[in-house]
Amino acid sequence: MTIVADADDLFLSTAQDALRSTDGDDALSALGWRDLLESLEEDAEARLGVLAFFRAQGRELGSSGALGELMAHPYAKLLGNEPAMRASIEGQSARRGSRAVLVGTPTRSGVLIDRPGHGVALVPLDRLELRPLGLSDGLALHEIETDLTDIPPSLSEAEAAPLRAQSVQLGRLALAHEILGAAESALAGAVQHARDRTQFGQPIAHFQAVRHLLASARVDAAAVAAVGHHSAEQYPALPPLRDAVLKALAGRNGRRICERSLQVLGAMGFTTEHEHHRFHSRVLVLDALLGTSSTLTHQIAVTLRASAGTVPELHQSVEALQSP
């Protein structure tokens, strides 16, 4: 019976164990994650498992190609189930414009690049030219610099467009879960520090100012977990905007959790000796993919105001009330 947001605890802890003992891509195999991925549309439990892996990956700062494989999933039927990863297309940088970003080490047959207006190109592994991006959080993250002009499209724009939206939805769900996991670990570190660190003759956890910082962070995590869990349950019948809401919420709350945790840790949390910066970096890097929290938050408002006074996007349906 899934009555609370973290009922998928068992898969989560199993995935964390796997990520602690082996490399991220091996963990995917050991957990049977790709089998779960095959049942994504039909089976809510499988979906919760697929997404719980990302939360575990955030908690353990693992690195795998799971995001790319999940985002490639909607294309699999049209592409003949050729195992692949999908790069995310990022258009945020004013300086650089649009770019293709690959999360994880490329391990499958190739990388799908699906650019709006161009359709899908499948870049074989031997043609990938990669430039590392990101912060020091242990995540393999690259910009794909391959010249695509002589690679014929595998899917036309008309074929790709509906799949692209699904792919982005899945990507945002996954990133939100991973941000949650990383933020949870940052918070756990700060909670432990508050118990251990003594000032004025007592653990700083005794001070209400410190307790309230940590409690606020815990509330922020609970909100992301609840919306994440319900979104995973409801997929693929998500209410409009829900993927944007979840990703924006995770980014905003995730950053807030890390900032409050850092405040409790004090200056030590700003050093490379302490692990806090790695969780914080993971949150920042993932917030920057598939729409930052500030961009998405703004888009949500603009879309709602354009909806002329009806907000079916926000009303919870009767179906959402009932346990699946």
Partner 1 sequence: MSSLARPAPVDLADLPTFAAAFERWLASRPTSLNEAASPLPTTDARMDAMRRLMGDLSDEGWGRWGWPETSGGLGGTILHRAVMWEGLARHGVSSMAAFEHLEVLGPTLLAMGPPEFCAEVFPGFLDGSATWAQGFSEPDAGSDLASIRTRAVLDGDAYRITGRKIWTSWARFARWSLVLARTGTVESRHRGITAFIVDLRSPGVEVRSIAQANGHDELAEVSFDDVLVPADRLIGAIDGGWAVAMHILSSERGTFAWFRQCFLLHHLQAILQRGAPEADGLLGDAVLDLVSVGALSIDALRVHEHGAILGPRAAFTKLVLCAAEQGLFDWALASDPDVVLDPFDQQGLDLRAAYLFSRIVTVYGGSQQMQLDTVAKQILQLPA
What does the binding site for partner 1 look like in residue numbers (CB under 8 A)?
1, 3-5, 191, 194-195, 203, 205-206, 208, 211-212, 214-216, 218-219, 222-224, 226-227, 229-230, 242, 245-246, 248-249, 252, 294, 296-302, 304-305, 307-311, 314-316, 318-323
Nearer to partner 1, 115 or 242 (CB): 242
Which residues, at least 6 apart from 283, have a Cβ–Cβ distance to it below 8 Å?
179, 182, 183, 186, 251, 254, 255, 257, 258
Which residues does 171 contact at the CB level (< 8 Å), separation at least 6?
67, 70, 71, 86, 88, 289, 290
CB 263, min distance to partner 1, A: 15
Q: Which is nearer to partner 1, 148 or 191 (CB)?
A: 191
Q: Nearer Cβ to partner 1, position 128 or 223?
A: 223
Q: How far is CA 163 from the centre of its chain?
A: 19
> What is the closest distance, in whole angstroms, from the C-beta atom of residue 283 to partner 1 in the complex?
16
Q: Residue 40 CB, nearest distance to partner 1 (Å)?
A: 21
Whichever of 52 and 214 has its CB closer to partner 1, that residue is 214
DSSP letter at 322 equals S
Toward partner 1, which CB reaches closer, 96 or 195?
Answer: 195
| DSSP three-state, residue 4 | coil
Q: Which is nearer to partner 1, 74 or 181 (CB)?
A: 181
Q: How far is the CB of 140 from partner 1 (least distance, A)?
A: 30
Q: Please state the φ and ψ torsions of residue 199, each to the nearest 5 degrees.
A: -145, 150
At residue 203, the 3 state secondary structure works out as strand
Q: Are 203 and 194 in contact (CB under 8 A)?
A: yes
Q: What is the nearest approach in angstroms of partner 1 to the Cβ of residue 80? A: 38
Least Å distance between CB 221 and partner 1? 9
Coil, strand, or helix at residue 151?
coil
| Element (DSSP H or E) covering residue 85 | strand 85-86
Cα angle for residues 26, 285, 274 (degrees, 5° grid) = 80
Report the distance separating Cα 46 and Cα 39, nearest Å. Answer: 6
Q: Compute the distance between CA of residue 131 and CA of residue 90 in angstroms, rounded to an integer.
A: 15
| The two three-digit tokens of residue 158, written as one number | 């008309």
What minimum distance in Å lies between the beta carbon of 66 and partner 1? 24
Closer to partner 1 by Cβ: residue 84 or 214: 214
